[in-house]
Chains A and B, each alone.
Chain A
Amino acid sequence: MTQYRTVNLPEDLCAAAEKRLPSRFDSLEALLSFLLQEIAKDEASRLDQAEEQVLEQRLRDLGYI
């Protein structure tokens, strides 16, 4: 089960940001989660890694490594 942490942010800042929240984010939490996820792990890196492994395998199959 996911555990949650409380983060303290100034109320007026949160309210101002909520007013201009981009439509792809339902809430301030969603926006902040997105940014933190970007720092923690990014999908683009996962794809790069997958491609590197595929290339590695191809090199092996061809007997080059």
Chain B
Amino acid sequence: MKKRSLVLVTVDCLRADHVGFLGYSRAVTPALDALAQNSVVFSAAIVAGAPTYFSFPAIMASRYPLALGRDILGIAPHEVTLATSLRDAGYTTAAFLAGNPYLSPHFGYEQGFATFRDFLESGSADTSVSGAVPSTNFLSDFNRRIQADSRRTGLTGAAYDALYFWYCQWRLRRENVSMDSLRRYPPADVLVDEACSWLSGLREQPFFLWLHLMDPHHPYYPPAEALSSLDKSDITPRRARFLNSFWNRGDIGARRLERHRDEIIALYDAGIFWVDKQISRLVQALQKFQRWDGTVFAVTADHGEEFLEHGRRYHSPTSLPEQLIHVPLLLRSPEVSGMRLSQEPFSLIHLAPTLLDAVGVAVPDNFQGRSHWKEISAGNLLSEPAIVECVASNNPFQPSDRMRPRLMAVRDAMYKLVIDFNQNFNGITDSFYDLKNDPGEHSPVPDGALPEVRARLFKIARAHLQQTQRNRNVELRLLAHLRAIQQSPAKNQSGAISALPPTGSC
């Protein structure tokens, strides 16, 4: 039998409730909605970690993010992954990733790919997030003095922050900008162009193509065409810059940020719309090259995004609400006709083995997830709790920032237990939610209620921690450390590791 090819599209920050095929009311995903009509749609796909750096070890290597130790980020050298398995099975492999520093060779994501482009060489065009403006040394020194003085009381500090923000906006008011010049990551059309060009050069061999698209990631600067399609042309580039700067303010609370929430969501949605449009182009290209009928096509996300539902923005893992861990997952396989809706929780730890099974390639023994392809094909996915884990740290690019307490969630079809280990590793805060009656996770179930369910989820968490220690792959861990040592600058070299991501990104 001829081997099937595989296309995996991962979209950064795409939350499940912002796609039409999972019920979103704004028409942002017409192409994906159409694709869903002949796909397996998972209505409760849950990431194994968040954000990107804690999610992708599961997506690409079917490994829980802290399984090698919380100080190890990314894929370890020589770790068996989806890509290496397909390469070893004779597939031609390519990855086009839209400039996320955590998905770079620095963290092992090039492994298994004959063609790998991470778009990190183009650098960042964005200067608007902080709203900072160029200024002379004299003004900078003067400003620093005022800032330091203002910090003497909370009130004067807040006044300084507000004044400085509006001063920056005033200074930038005449600058000509476009969405393209403000955008930090290459848009989906650039990635899809690359992918189409690569596809056009393929012969008959099976292939694996991975695309990672960043359009919904902040700062939110979608192409003007996408905004226009959503009837949001009133958000000009200058307005978008103001909105992003405002949304990024650390000096004001959720109540004040709320006033621009709808416009920020419109920008985010326009990014999703653009992704959808480009995925449609990719599908057309596969059809044109007569590869569509022999290709398994999967679309998912590494995590979601928060818009003040719990008072937070973006996707820092300070908690694990549904907005962050519940993502879309659509799996199109040639033999699936009609939409097959799978409503049981499906952890992305199972995605790689399921995809390998779907294309007919053996699943490696080291994968922690297992293939659900047979159950999915038969239409009876079993209910199985999903585990999510991460370290609550804003930016763990340096190993020393990773040795912090674990934050984990155990989520089944109806309930969710979130466990937050405290800073001294000697206690926990746990929150237990009834997702059926409280899908917004506004009121934890009171202590003492539903003890059997709570105990069951706690025991799953404990078993997971035990398994993590028991199954640690010491060899991969050591190899990852050796890579980090090789990447550190030598004593006689100046400069830090290249491509350091900005704080709070990804």
Residues of A within 8 Å of B, CB-based: how many? 31
Residues from 44 to 65 in A contacting B, C-beta threshold 8 Å:
44-45, 47-52, 54-56, 58-59, 62-65
B residues in contact with A65, CB < 8 Å: 459
A39–B481 CA distance with the chains assembled, in angstroms? 11
B472 shortest CB reach to chain A, Å? 7
Contact of B425 among A20, A42, A50, A59 (CB under 8 A): A50
Q: Is B491 an interface residue (CB 8 A)?
A: yes
Q: Is A14 an interface residue (CB 8 A)?
A: no
A43 engages B403 (CB within 8 Å): yes
A residues in contact with B491, CB < 8 Å: 21-23
A55 engages B469 (CB within 8 Å): no
Q: Is B146 an interface residue (CB 8 A)?
A: no
* Closest chain A residue, CB of each to CB of B496: A23
Q: Which of A31, A38, A48, A58 counts the most B-chain CB atoms under 10 A from its CB?
A: A48
A64–B451 CA distance with the chains assembled, in angstroms? 8
B425 engages A44 (CB within 8 Å): no
B residues in contact with A31, CB < 8 Å: 485
A54 engages B427 (CB within 8 Å): yes
B152-160, B310-318, B373-381, B460-468 - interface stretch:
B460-468
B477 engages A42 (CB within 8 Å): yes
A39–B454 CA distance with the chains assembled, in angstroms? 37
A-B residue pair count with CB separations less than 8 angstroms: 96
A23–B72 CA distance with the chains assembled, in angstroms? 19
A residues in contact with B405, CB < 8 Å: 47, 51
Residues from 6 to 45 in A contacting B, C-beta threshold 8 Å:
19-25, 31, 34-35, 38-39, 42-45
A residues in contact with B425, CB < 8 Å: 47, 50-51, 54
A24–B455 CA distance with the chains assembled, in angstroms? 45
A residues in contact with B70, CB < 8 Å: 44, 47-48
Beyond A47-B405, A62-B451, 12 additional pairs, beta carbon < 8 A: A24-B488, A25-B485, A31-B485, A34-B485, A42-B477, A44-B66, A44-B403, A51-B421, A59-B459, A62-B454, A62-B458, A64-B458
A52 engages B466 (CB within 8 Å): yes
Please provide the 7 A-B residue pairs with the shortest distance between their CB atoms, ordered closest to farther.
A44-B69, A22-B488, A64-B455, A50-B425, A52-B465, A23-B491, A20-B490
A residues in contact with B462, CB < 8 Å: 52, 55-56, 59
A54 engages B459 (CB within 8 Å): no
Contact of A55 among B454, B461, B477 (CB under 8 A): B461
Contact of B455 among A22, A23, A48, A62 (CB under 8 A): A62
A23-B488, A64-B458 are known contacts. Are A54 and B472 too (CB-CB below 8 A)? no
A residues in contact with B493, CB < 8 Å: 23
A16 shortest CB reach to chain B, Å? 12
B residues in contact with A43, CB < 8 Å: 71, 403
Q: Is B430 an interface residue (CB 8 A)?
A: yes
B residues in contact with A52, CB < 8 Å: 462, 465-466, 469
